[in-house]
């Protein structure tokens, strides 16, 4: 992770507001999710303070759902107000943990987030299957500023997705 991204990690967020289902809007392609559509991540707080992670996606080639269950734990101690830093470790494979860093979150509503693991993994997440164009642009600009290869972002098809063309409504139509 670049020093800029390390400094960009959210210093204070409420895990109780972060739990629930998030839709994957965009990602840098990775071997774990290759070819998957309709990807969601569902987070549940456990009594031991860890977070249960359930990643789910549809593989159109196999016409089947894929699911990975893991566990995330906070790296830093809780802040004095009970909030946490957005620096976690997540594991889907036993004792092997990878970084899970929340680089930006929509506070106070928690409607979207920018998340990374190292410099090669990046996700744009949303509470809804679609995210407005200006918010996507904002998150992509932030990611680019932090050194991520945003030109390689893959936008993920979600169920019942409506495709919009940006700017079409203001362009003169010649017939």
The pLDDT tens digits of the residues spanning 80-89 come to: 999 999 999 9
What pLDDT is stored for residue 159 in this prediction?
A: 83
What pLDDT is stored for residue 168 in this prediction?
A: 47
Domain span at residue 73 reads 3-164
Q: Which residues of the chain have pLDDT under 50?
A: 168-171, 173
> Does residue 83 sit within a domain?
yes
What pLDDT is stored for residue 165 in this prediction?
A: 52
What pLDDT is stored for residue 174 in this prediction?
A: 53
The enclosing domain of 114 has a CATH number of 2.40.128.20
What pLDDT is stored for residue 93 in this prediction?
A: 84
What pLDDT is stored for residue 151 in this prediction?
A: 96
Burial class (CB in 10 A: 0-12, 13-18, 19+), 166: exposed
What pLDDT is stored for residue 7 in this prediction?
A: 76
Burial class (CB in 10 A: 0-12, 13-18, 19+), 39: buried
> Does residue 173 sit within a domain?
no
> Does residue 170 sit within a domain?
no
Q: Which residue has the tokens 């789910």?
A: 56
Task: Give the number of domains in the chain.
Answer: 1
> Does residue 172 sit within a domain?
no
């Amino acid at each position: 992770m670049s020093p800029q991204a390390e400094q960009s990690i959210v210093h204070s967020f409420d895990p109780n507001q972060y739990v629930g289902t998030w839709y994957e809007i965009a990602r840098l392609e990775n071997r774990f999710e290759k070819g998957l559509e309709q990807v969601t991540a569902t987070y549940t707080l456990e009594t031991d303070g860890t977070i249960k992670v359930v990643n789910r996606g549809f593989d159109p080639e196999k016409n089947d759902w894929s699911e990975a269950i893991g566990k995330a734990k906070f790296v830093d101690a809780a802040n004095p107000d009970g909030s946490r830093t957005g620096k976690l470790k997540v594991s889907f494979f036993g004792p092997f943990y990878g970084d899970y860093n929340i680089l930006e979150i929509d506070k106070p509503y928690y409607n979207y987030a920018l998340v990374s693991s190292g410099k090669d993994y990046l996700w744009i997440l949303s509470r809804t299957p679609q995210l407005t164009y200006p918010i996507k642009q904002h998150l992509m600009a932030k990611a680019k500023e932090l050194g991520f290869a945003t030109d390689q972002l893959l936008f993920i098809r979600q169920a019942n997705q409506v495709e919009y063309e940006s700017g079409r409504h203001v362009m003169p139509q010649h017939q």
